[in-house]
Chains A and B, each alone.
Chain A
Amino acid sequence: SQQGEEDPQALSIQEGENATMNCSYKTSINNLQWYRQNSGRGLVHLILIRSNEREKHSGRLRVTLDTSKKSSSLLITASRAADTASYFCATDANDYKLSFGAGTTVTVRA
């Protein structure tokens, strides 16, 4: 079964706007990672946040983690057409399996 669940399933925004997507999970985790997948391609690692961290930044990406609510959010600022992709959260729980959610599909309109 999948540990993480992304919300929303799909998101359509105008170029230049910000995109926010959320991930909720069920059990305690060691870390949470976000990956991007362009159509027909493999996944690309974006950012990792550990269970003792609350916020991380990488370029235009901002990730937060709230372990009390078992949730994380990924914010993409000033979106570009190249950000059009599916975004997946992946949780590394105490069972040492990396489990992916079903993803959020983001479309950035020019």
Chain B
Amino acid sequence: EAGVAQSPRYKIIEKRQSVAFWCNPISGHATLYWYQQILGQGPKLLIQFQNNGVVDDSQLPKDRFSAERLKGVDSTLKIQPAKLEDSAVYLCASSLMPATNEKLFFGSGTQLSVL
């Protein structure tokens, strides 16, 4: 079974630039999550999709972050414009069971450095 795929693995940009991350969840997994993990901290949920609908985006800074999951499969997360404090690892996860948050499968993440 293929895991959660994320790209790119690393990204370095300057502040005020734009960046996009891509995630392809495990086939058949209805729920997709984007987490932000700042160095030394636990992951913080940014947005959660159920198929192609948004379940929770209460912690997504909507003035600069956007995410979409077209066709209920892969997803992109965009930051525009980036700030220094956006430097973090962006983790995508998926889970099989709808309407629950049990047993998430994580990708390896995209490490973003904003200079």
Contact = CB atoms under 8 A, between A and B. Distances in A.
B43 to A, nearest CB: 5
Interface residues of A, number: 22
Interface string B12-44: 000000000000000000000101000011111
Interface residues of B, number: 25
A2 B42 contact: yes
Main secondary structure, interface of B, reads: loop
Contacts of B102: 31, 33, 48, 92
Interface in A27-57: 31, 33, 35, 40-45, 48
Interface in A83-110: 88, 92, 96-103
Nearest to B48: A97
B37 to A, nearest CB: 9
B84 interface: no
